Amino acid sequence: MKQVFTKIVSTILAFLVLFSTFSFTVESHFCGDFLMDISFTGNAEICESDIVDDLSIKMKDCCSDEVHKIEGQDELQHASELKFDLKKQQFFTAFLISYKDLFIESTSEKTVFQDFSPPDISIDYQVLYQSFLI
């Protein structure tokens, strides 16, 4: 579940970075209060009342064009140079090794000898200390 969530979030963030760099223009043509044409790629078509012939008289200009330009980022932040000197390299190496060792599972194997006889006792302690159960 955690891996799926991580993949979804990383994909969304990648698309966010991608779409923040895009810029596009929306052009719309209105005749009066009515939207006649909208274009995302080029010029919006004008309506027939805007076309003026040589013989006709142009009607009162009631048409208008609106252009909405949405600009994305032009400059992205470049990674600054990191001065990775010897002390930082040593610290990073020691940290990485110690962090990696935290997650190593240690398995201790218990060896059980079934046919193992106890060692021979050279001295009889009961007789030596004269402690007998009565």
CB 43 within 8 A of CB 36: no
Single-letter amino acid code for the residue at 61: D
Report the percentage of the chain scoring pLDDT > 90: 15
The predicted pLDDT at position 125 comes to: 83
Strand partners, 28: 38, 66
| Token pair 């895009």 in the structure block, residue | 22
Residue 34: how many CB atoms within 10 A of its CB? 9
Residue 19 clears pLDDT 60, i.e. is over it: yes
**For 30-66, how does the pLDDT look when each residue is reduced to its tens digit (9 = 90+)?**
887 888 888 887 777 776 654 554 334 444 467 888 8
Structure-block tokens of residue 9 = 């979030």
Structural domain spans, the chain:
2-70
The predicted pLDDT at position 78 comes to: 65
- CA–CA gap between residue 36 and residue 28 (Å, rounded): 8
Does the pTM of the predicted model rise above 0.75? no
Structure-block tokens of residue 89 = 């390299």
Q: Starting from the edge strand earliest in sequence, which strands make up the sheet with 34-39, in order?
A: 34-39, 24-31, 63-70
